[in-house]
Structure 1
Amino acid sequence: MKRRMIYWAATLGIVGVAMAAWTMTARAGYESAEYEVIESDGNIEIREYPDLMLAATDSKMDSQGRDGSFMRLFRYISGANQDDQKIAMTTPVFMEGEIGKSDVSMGFVMPKEVAAQGVPEPKGEGVEIRKREGGRFAVIRFPGRLDTQLAKQQETKLRKWMEARGLSGAAKAEAAGYDPPFTPAPLRRNEVLIRLTDAENLEAATVRETKTDG
């Protein structure tokens, strides 16, 4: 009996390691939106993002785009655009609004090369090209299947962290997902991002990071 338990524990451990390795390999195959880490505290970071170009659509359901929003964006990058151009998938998928509620905007980040050359206009309705303004963001990273409850819990943690450091941010948060829908929940990379809004606070964050490095 003990040997059987050891066998199953070892098997589950091997499977877990293999799945984690597969997830990391899958992520590495995609270009990811660039950012600079200004400050790091466990699973929370302050990041500086450049301007990003997004192909975006409005979602009425959830982070998986089960209302067809994900497929609208996927068709766009598969060639449903004015140049009939195939565009590489990137990470993360950004979401603005309350996940699981109405009026959520889902956006695919355009690869740097495509953004530099000019993003092709979508064919038909439902997809538009938007500019995501760069800036400084407070970001919390966490696993799990992204839904309204989980996103709210993590946003609350992030705002408490910001408050303790005298940082103020936008009223609305963003969410970001890095993995395809079939990725097991414990291996997913999700994030909640809050744009920092006070120039004084942005400077303070930079000063703290400089003191830490020094």
Structure 2
Amino acid sequence: MAAYSNILKLSFLASLLSGLWPVEETRRHDTNLAVFPPTCNRIECPVFESVHVGNGYEIRRYNSTMWASTSPIQDISLVEATRTGFLQLFDYIQGKNFYEEKIDMTAPVITEVSPSDGPFCESSFVVSFYVPKKNQANPAPAKGLQIQKWKPTYVAVRQFGGFVSDYEVGEEAAALQASIADTVWSDAIEKNRGKDRTSIYIVAQYNSPFEFDNRVNEIWMPFNLEE
């Protein structure tokens, strides 16, 4: 487990520094079935309950969780913003925090997207790392990062394979929006936008860039159900 975690950390860093993000021509678009990300069999992921599986989407409920998050990053590219944010988070888990504590790698790395108004304007991105369970009670603070506590949260999820690209992310987010249109979930998402979260959607990436098979990425649209 520790050896795999170290390899995953180093492969993320090597790819980020080199700027080489492979492009995969074949992608999995059959999203009717929810797939448990294989990465979560090897490293820790946040626990969720699958509430509903629909045509092209899944509804999950996540318990309260802690995340280490960057400040908003302004960029025209989600891929570039994620690279910038992950470098900060990599330093954080390598011990550059106020506790000088090394932290286990987890998945997914998520990027919250708040799109700009214009087609060529910079958007705002926040990149976050799920804090491992053993660190949840007292996450290490760090300069330039914020510790976010999520309340129990529902998310509408769409999965897709391959390597994330800026163009594809927009397509997948639109496809998720279309698949939940005219459902109670869509109404709940619209009601909650601009309240607890201002992001339009979240991109979750589970794999190291050096893993070519069984890649799982997700679009999340978070919401809370009124009690």
What secondary structure does 2:181 align onto?
Answer: helix
**Which residue of structure 2 aligns with residue 56 of structure 1?**
69
Which letter maps to 2:127?
A: M
TM-superposed CA distance for 1:42, in Å, is 5.7
Query: Residue 73 of structure 1: which of 75, 81, 89 is its match?
Result: 89
**Which residue of structure 1 aligns with residue 207 of structure 2?**
179
**Which residue of structure 2 aligns with residue 4 of structure 1?**
none
Rg larger in 1 or in 2?
1
Query: Residue 112 of structure 1: which of 133, 150, 154 is its match?
Result: 133
Greater percentage in helix: 1
Q: 1 CA distance for matches of 2:99 and 2:221? A: 34
Q: 2:165 matched to 1:147?
A: yes
TM-superposed CA distance for 1:196, in Å, is 3.2
Q: 1 CA distance for matches of 2:162 and 2:95? A: 32
User: Gapped runs of 5+ residues in structure 1?
Assistant: 1-22, 201-214
After superposition, the CA RMSD in angstroms is 2.6
**Which residue of structure 2 aligns with residue 199 of structure 1?**
226
Q: 2 CA distance for matches of 1:45 and 1:196? A: 13
Aligned counterparts, 1:12-27, within 5 A = 24=38, 27=40
Larger relative contact order (CA 8 Å, sep ≥ 6): 2
Which letter maps to 2:206?
A: Y
Preserved CA contact (<8 Å) 2:56 2:179: no
Give the count of matched residue pairs: 173
Q: 2:178 matched to 1:160?
A: yes
Runs of 4 or more consecutive aligned structure 1 residues displaced over 4 Å after TM superposition: 64-67, 98-101
TM-superposed CA distance for 1:151, in Å, is 1.6
- Cα deviations by residue, 1:65-103 (Å, 9 ceiling, x for unpaired): 575321210111111111111111101111101589542
TM-score (ref. length: structure 1): 0.70
Preserved CA contact (<8 Å) 1:30 1:89: yes
- Cα deviations by residue, 1:135-188 (Å, 9 ceiling, x for unpaired): 21111111122133212211222112211424321451111010112233x632
Q: 1 CA distance for matches of 2:41 and 2:82? A: 25
Identical pairs, percent: 25
**Which residue of structure 2 aligns with residue 206 of structure 1?**
none
Preserved CA contact (<8 Å) 2:153 2:224: no
